[in-house]
Amino acid sequence: MRNSFDKKSLLLYAVTDRTWLKGRAFSHDVEEALLGGTTLVQLREKELPYDEFLAEAFVIKALCGKYNVPFIVNDSVEVALACDADGIHVGQSDMKALKVRERLGNNKIVGVSVQTVEQALLAEESGADYLGVGAVFSTSTKRDADFVPYDMLKTICAAVSIPVVAIGGIYAHNIEKLSGLGIDGVALVSSLFAEADIKTATAKMRSLAEKTVGYGEGNEK
């Protein structure tokens, strides 16, 4: 997967959250996002035991395969390896990127959350394929997230040669504030999965993400 990793797959990066299921099957909501046009799915489970996390990972991986969308596991190298995910995303408090790359090898995608230029450069040097930067807006999804000002986001984008995804509190009403900063995509949680009609919400955010990133307008990095 890594050898054919296309940064355009980061355009609309869906991060799962089971908070808003309301009795629906988890896989149903993920498939609705896929039908709406999400370009990558990250499976994020902070509470599930390993066996349940792994079983779920196999289901979501199969769905992503059906729609030819990369499947990323959050944090757990063990789950990523066991289900043969396309890659993994880790934070600053998780396993270091260099160690993750050693564990997964060179053919998997590795993403790293960063908030500073120093962290970004170290992640790139350690073998990261892309960076997640945020929170760019206040967010209720991850209350412990550090705020990253626009200027810092723009500086990080300019400092590295790998793609950058903005995350944190991104919705239809504020996404275009990220235009011109150099990002390659947006990572979304509640603006997809908290919506009553996930497919329609995803399609709307996909269109806004394309305008914000500038694909099709000669704005490639």
Catalytic pick among 9, 44, 108, 191? 44
Placement of tokens 């289900």 in the chain: 83
Tell me whether residue 44 is one of the annotated catalytic residues: yes
Helix (H) or strand (E) holding 34: helix 26-36
The residue annotated as part of the active site, out of 9, 76, 113, 191, is: 113
Inter-axis angle of helices 26-36 and 198-213, to 10 degrees? Answer: 40
Residue 113 designated active-site: yes
Cα torsion 22, 27, 28, 31: sign? positive
Beta bridge partners of 42: 15, 72
Q: From CA 186, how far away is CA 13, in angstroms rounded?
A: 6
Question: 3-class DSSP state for residue 12?
Answer: strand
Residue 219 DSSP class: -
Residue of 61, 101, 142, 206 marked catalytic: 142
Residue 11's identity, in one-letter code, is L
Distance separating alpha carbons of residues 158 and 31, to the nearest angstrom: 34
For 38, half-sphere exposure in the C-beta direction (CA atoms, 13 angstrom radius) is: 32
Q: Which is it for strands 12-15 and 185-188: parallel, antiparallel or unpaired?
A: parallel
- The answer to whether 178 touches 166, Cβ cutoff 8 Å, is yes
Amino acid at 139: T
In the residue annotation, 207 being an active-site residue is answered as: no
| Catalytic annotation, residues | 44, 113, 142
